[in-house]
Structure 1
Amino acid sequence: MQHSHDNLKDIESLLEFYRSAGVDCFLGDAPVDWVEASARQAAQRHQAAPASPPQMAGGPDRTAAASHAAPKSTPRQQAAAPRQQPASAPPQAAVMPDRETIASARDLAAAAASLADLKACLETFEGCNLKLTAKTLVFGDGNPDARLMLVGEAPGRDEDLQGKPFVGRSGQLLDRMLDAIGLDREAAYIANVVPWRPPGNRTPTPQETEICKPFIKRQIELVNPDVLVFLGAASAKNLLGVQDGIRKMRGRWMNYALRDREIAAVATYHPAYLLRSPLEKRLSWRDFLSIRSRLAGL
């Protein structure tokens, strides 16, 4: 039986959804109800537990005699007996995001004098719960002295594993887009608004974004690029304060304000969206041509 082209596209979309959610292998041919299986295993352990020894008749004298009759372990047996392992440290508790946490993030970010200082602050910062589930901090990649900086929303699975932004399929597409206008990662600096991967690649909550915002704003200040590109509407909305959708926003040059100057900024489609909607690549191509012209004119 042959599948239609539409069915194959549906299957590919479903597999891509599973992959982005972290499902990358099959464990069996049938689904397993782990809640029911855990309850069944607990019941089996309860039934198999040995009954408590009956109290011996005859009072304490006979009990003491029985204890004297029990064989004593030799020093060699005692050495071979397994030692009880010390209890592991309890996992870090989640924090409740509030104004105090956001203010702390602002203070830490403002005190960072370099990108290395800022990265060290994020590595020790405990105010964002995404750090509890992410494997690594995804700080930035590329040339920190570049004139071009690109900012996405949050890292995905591949980025979380490698600790670098845009290294998965969308990152490979971004590399090709940069190459098409004569640039590469050594001619750009790439980062995300949120530096930790949200579980299952979900969208970061407004609280998570607000906590991380001071760090990406400081990161932009320290890189100090001539042109700032927002990959997708989320990063543009969070850092520019605009509310337009990406279709209306993309390709329109705006200004991003620093303390002492303004940076030319533009939003374009996120590479992950282009993988799902390849026809929109023609519009992104126009955006990247405009980026090249703006860099040449500055």
Structure 2
Amino acid sequence: MITARDMTAAELAALLHFHAEAGVEWLVEDAPVDRQAAFSAEKQARQRPAAAAAPGTAPAPERRRPEAPQPAPRPAAAIAIPDEHAVTEARFAAESARTLDELRTAVEAFGGCNLKTSARSTVFAAGDPAAGVMVIGPMPSADDDREGAAFSGKAGFLLDRMLAAIGLSRETVLLSTVIPWRPPGDRPPSAPEAAICRPFVERQIELAEPKAVLLLGNFTARFFFGGTGTIHALRGEWREIACGSHAVPAIATLHPQELLTAPASKALAWADLQAFRARLGG
């Protein structure tokens, strides 16, 4: 008899093709196999260990896979204060301060603005509160957040030169920012964030009682003057900003960072600085 082992692959393929055409659906082995007897033997083999157990003894407990350790519960996230409530709380905290030192403490303790959670420092006004001159920028930069002071880094160095050109310095003005906390990635503050911070910066102006305010940058000019104009449309013109019971004259100019990226605009900033110096009385 020729077995399958003695046949080539082509012969096997031809044989299978012949069986398929003949209607063969099952292939059998050379020796018969009793499948029912094999199944009965396997069933008896599985039942034998249970029958061998002593009567009255409890079966061995089933082994269970150890459960994976449950992760520790996360601490509850801080409850976000709705914007309108945060504005009310900010206004109450600002109006309760009677001095700039008290206002600094109130700002540092305030937790109603989400910007504080991602910032490293709270940047507050610094300089001479009695100088009668305020310089206000938009929001802290990465350098400001790291140093904890407004106008740090290259932009701050350029501002020092700008002030020196009109006979001023950090020590003879009060430097501040509209927003006391740096937004993530230096993005512009949202409208609700700006509304929450407004009572604090307006209270700074009210307590310092400056004779004139220099506003730096597009965001700062829009914040106090309103509208959607660019700094080139808002700069160089004196306007009054109302802070509590005070109306203070203010003029806007380009931010030092804008002058670093566009040096050709320095001539415009110089004209604004001269107007500011003239308003202060020479």
Same fold flag (TM > 0.5): yes
1:241 to 201, 213, 226: 226
C-alpha spacing 1:260/1:211, structure 2 compared with 1 (3 Å): closer
Gaps of 5+ in 1: 1-56, 61-86
* CA drift at 1:98: 1.9
**Preserved CA contact (<8 Å) 2:125 2:176:** yes
**Preserved CA contact (<8 Å) 1:147 1:225:** yes
Residue type at the aligned position of 1:157: A
* CA drift at 1:93: 2.1
**Aligned partner of residue 126 in structure 1, secondary structure:** coil
C-alpha spacing 1:120/1:257, structure 2 compared with 1 (3 Å): same
1:251 paired with 2:236, answer yes
2:87 to 84, 98, 102: 102
Report the Cα distance in structure 1 between the residues aligned to 2:183 and 2:76, rounded to whole angstroms: 18
1:118 paired with 2:98, answer no
Give 1:71's aligned residue.
none
Identity %: 43
1:202 to 183, 187, 193: 187
Report the Cα distance in structure 2 between the residues aligned to 1:91 and 1:296, rounded to whole angstroms: 57
Give 1:129's aligned residue.
114
Residue type at the aligned position of 1:283: L
Give 1:279's aligned residue.
264
C-alpha spacing 1:88/1:178, structure 2 compared with 1 (3 Å): farther
Map 1:284-295 onto structure 2 (within 5 A). 284-295=269-280
Gaps of 5+ in 2: 1-57, 62-71
C-alpha spacing 1:263/1:88, structure 2 compared with 1 (3 Å): farther
Q: Deviations over 1:13-58 (max 9, x none)?
A: xxxxxxxxxxxxxxxxxxxxxxxxxxxxxxxxxxxxxxxxxxxx99
**Preserved CA contact (<8 Å) 1:142 1:188:** yes
1:166 paired with 2:160, answer no
User: Which of the pair has more CA radius of gyration?
Assistant: 2
* CA drift at 1:256: 1.7
**Preserved CA contact (<8 Å) 2:135 2:215:** yes
Residue type at the aligned position of 1:276: T
**What is the root-mean-square deviation of aligned Cα atoms in Å?**
2.1
Report the Cα distance in structure 2 between the residues aligned to 1:88 and 1:231, rounded to whole angstroms: 47
Residue type at the aligned position of 1:263: V
* CA drift at 1:159: 0.5
* CA drift at 1:174: 0.4
Report the Cα distance in structure 2 between the residues aligned to 1:292 and 1:215, rounded to whole angstroms: 27
1:148 to 121, 133, 137: 133
Report the Cα distance in structure 2 between the residues aligned to 1:161 and 1:217, rounded to whole angstroms: 25
Length-normalised TM-score, structure 2:
0.71
Residue type at the aligned position of 1:140: A
2:162 to 166, 170, 177: 177
**Aligned partner of residue 145 in structure 1, secondary structure:** helix
Report the Cα distance in structure 2 between the residues aligned to 1:146 and 1:90, rounded to whole angstroms: 47
Length-normalised TM-score, structure 1:
0.68
Q: What is the number of residues matched between the two proteins?
A: 215
**Aligned partner of residue 99 in structure 1, secondary structure:** helix
**Preserved CA contact (<8 Å) 1:229 1:268:** yes
**Preserved CA contact (<8 Å) 1:268 1:287:** yes
**Aligned partner of residue 104 in structure 1, secondary structure:** helix
Report the Cα distance in structure 1 between the residues aligned to 2:278 and 2:113, rounded to whole angstroms: 39
* CA drift at 1:263: 1.5
* CA drift at 1:251: 0.6
2:207 to 222, 236, 245: 222
Residue type at the aligned position of 2:166: I
* CA drift at 1:92: 5.6
**Aligned partner of residue 110 in structure 1, secondary structure:** helix
